[in-house]
Amino acid sequence: MRFWDTSALVPLFIAERESERVELLSAIARRRREDPKANRVLRTTRMNLLEAWTEWTEVIDMPAARRQAERLVETHPLRAADALRLGAALVACEGVASSLTFVTLDRVQAEAAEREGFTVLGRD
């Protein structure tokens, strides 16, 4: 199992960094507006994203993820959203970081994930 940070998901669907579901959809819509010639490809990209989303498992215990994030911002130089994502990964793996691969393109988040015990993919 792998925990995918949105920084690593976006390039799978569109050449733009950092996003969650709404941000991904917003990035696709913005690209369609900016480049009408890409409209067909980007509509397909949107459909692929929404289809892939149904296969993912989301961490819904946000109070637990927030508690982890509160500790993480004291320990690592993370932005709040990145700390929440890393906290969600810690919740997903039930505190056994070595049982989950963390996928991110964010260098700072990758370093923090490695220090927390995750194997990291996608790092620069």
Per-residue pLDDT tens over the stretch 10-38? 565 554 444 467 777 888 888 889 988 98
- Which residues are within 8 A (CB) of 63 and not within 5 positions of it... i.e. 6 or more apart? none
What confidence tens digit (pLDDT) does each residue in 100-121 have?
A: 999 998 999 999 999 999 999 9
Identity of residue 45: T
What's the whole-number mean pLDDT along residues 44-51?
A: 87
Task: Name the pTM for this structure.
Answer: 0.69
Dihedral Cα 114, 109, 105, 85, nearest 10 deg: 110
